Amino acid sequence: MIRIAVVGDIGSGKSHIAKLFNLPVFNADFEVSKIYKTNKQCFKRLKKKLPKYFVSFPAQKDQIIRAMVEDDLNLKKITNIIHPEIRNKMNIFLKKNNKREAIVLDIPLFLENKLNQEKDIIVFIQSQKLEIIKRLKRRDNFNISLLNKFKKIQFPLNYKKKKSSYIIKNNFTNRSAKMSIKKIMKEIT
């Protein structure tokens, strides 16, 4: 099975590009959201570590954001609980799709969490800063200080770019992205 990982800046369009591959996609952000809404065990651990923020199940997005923004240590506590769950869900996804020719991993901290393997095809999604900011501001609960905290725990974009096998310049039109994907798939399959 060929593992294709999409990496890039927050808001660069990684999830959108991942879907355009028309392959099974593991979307870590979606899985995190599901954990907050449905996983009572995780909630209990979060409530134990951060009782001031995690009051009632399911965890509310504004409470999670407040916890992360108010203290860097809180972000670390939350990721220490959530990331092992995501790794576990990714492993289940990989087992379920092990007969597939290829899959896509849409995991924002893919390199940072050392999830990459030697044979992985890493695709860097490159977008213009102004376009990214415009897109991020349209998101629900957009918070600039939270965005900056997340950027601090991520590797620099130049490093991610250097580690990548391919670069897709995302100008937020499907046509150019699909052409790039077609070229990549032709080369790797």
State the pLDDT confidence band at 5, using cuts at 50, 70 and 90: very high
Query: 78 lies in a domain?
Result: yes
Across residues 85-100, what is the average pLDDT?
97
Q: Measuring CA to CA, how many Å separate 61 from each of 123, 141, 154, 176? A: 29, 8, 21, 34
Across residues 120-130, what is the average pLDDT?
92
Q: What is the pLDDT of residues 94-103, one digit of tens each?
A: 999 999 999 9
If asked whether residues 83 and 61 sit together in one domain, one would say yes
Query: At residue 28, does pLDDT exceed 90?
Result: yes
Which pLDDT does position 22 carry in this prediction? Answer: 96
> By percentage, how much of the chain surpasses pLDDT 70?
99
Which pLDDT does position 147 carry in this prediction? Answer: 81
State the pLDDT confidence band at 56, using cuts at 50, 70 and 90: very high
- Structural domain total, the chain: 2
The CA distance from 106 to 54, in Å, is: 27
DSSP state of 104: E
If asked whether residues 86 and 107 sit together in one domain, one would say no
Q: Tell me which residue range forms the domain holding 68.
A: 36-96
Question: CB 162: neighbour CB atoms within 10 A?
Answer: 10
If asked whether residues 86 and 117 sit together in one domain, one would say no
Which pLDDT does position 96 carry in this prediction? Answer: 98
pTM of the complete model: 0.91
Backbone angles phi, psi at 162, to 5 degrees: -65, -35
Which pLDDT does position 150 carry in this prediction? Answer: 84
If asked whether residues 19 and 40 sit together in one domain, one would say no
Query: 109 lies in a domain?
Result: yes
Query: At residue 172, does pLDDT exceed 80?
Result: no
Q: In what order do the strands lie in the sheet with 121-126?
A: 25-27, 102-106, 2-8, 121-126, 166-169
State the pLDDT confidence band at 142, using cuts at 50, 70 and 90: confident
Q: Is 141 left (phi over 0), alpha (psi -120 to 50) or beta?
A: left
Nearest Cα neighbor of 121 from 71, 88, 163, 183 is: 163
The DSSP bridge partners found for residue 8 are 125
If asked whether residues 118 and 185 sit together in one domain, one would say yes
If asked whether residues 91 and 42 sit together in one domain, one would say yes
Give the angle 78-124-81 at the CA atoms, nearest 5°. 10
Residue 155 sits in a domain of what CATH number?
3.40.50.300
